[in-house]
Amino acid sequence: KAGVTQTPRYLIKTRGQQVTLSCSPISGHRSVSWYQQTPGQGLQFLFEYFSETQRNKGNFPGRFSGRQFSNSRSEMNVSTLELGDSALYLCASSSNRGGTGELFFGEGSRLTVL
Amino acid sequence: GQNIDQPTEMTATEGAIVQINCTYQTSGFNGLFWYQQHAGEAPTFLSYNVLDGLEEKGRFSSFLSRSKGYSYLLLKELQMKDSASYLCAVRDVNRGSTLGRLYFGRGTQLTVWP
């Protein structure tokens, strides 16, 4: 079964621009979470979606937003990019059908803001 | 708030045993995860503990003491390919917690020397 797929893998933007990142979860997984990973802060939770609804949100400014579609695919958007937004953005999916509920991560989208 | 602490770096030699510690302070507790992340790759799930005690899975074992807010990951018969970052993460149980929201430590970078 295919894993979590994120696109694009790498991108370079300039300050003030906006960016949209895409995530396709593992087939059958309806929960999708987004994390920002930086060397200084580690993995920080951005938000989580389930059945097209945002269920949880981390402590990030409103410039960070997301959505989930009926097929569970998710996108996140960052507007008015700042230099500090340079990071690896990781998407993770999980199954709500019992078990440990571990997160399955994609390889991430590495964003560089110049 | 939530606080997850683990050492920044560790080194060991091939064939040896290494123990990576993690201490946590969270307002609630609903499971502790260990993930492995090789440079430039996605974090991959290693282990999950929700009850006190030791969980063994091949060369890897993970221990949890909820009363002490403490866990460790034990890696035996180290191989060069075990060189990676090891991430400790906790799932909270209180209001605002959901399946996809984990609180991560900043990771322990393990280097295995020949």
pLDDT tens-digit profile of B53-108? 999 999 999 999 999 999 999 999 999 999 999 999 999 876 556 777 899 999 99
B38 at interface of A, judged by CB pairs closer than 8 A: no
- Kindly list the residues from chain B whose CB atom is less than 8 angstroms away from the CB atom of residue A55: 98, 100
Which B residues, 42 through 81, put their C-beta within 8 Å of a C-beta on chain A? 42-45, 48, 50
**A48-96 pLDDT, tens per residue?**
999 899 998 999 999 999 999 999 999 999 999 999 999 999 999 998 7
Residue B82, number of CB atoms within 10 A of its CB: 20
Which of A57, A102, A109 best probes binding to B when mutated, by most B CB atoms within 10 angstroms?
Answer: A102
Please tell me the number of Cα atoms within 13 Å of B105 on its side-chain side.
30
For residue A108, the distance in angstroms to the closest alpha carbon of chain B comes to 7
B106 at interface of A, judged by CB pairs closer than 8 A: yes
Q: Is B55 exposed, middle or buried (0-12, 13-18, 19+ CB in 10 A)?
A: middle
Distance of CA B27 to the CA centre of its chain: 19
**Looking at per-residue confidence, does B28 or A91 come out higher?**
A91
Residue B13, number of CB atoms within 10 A of its CB: 11
Tell me the β-bridge partners of A44. Answer: A36
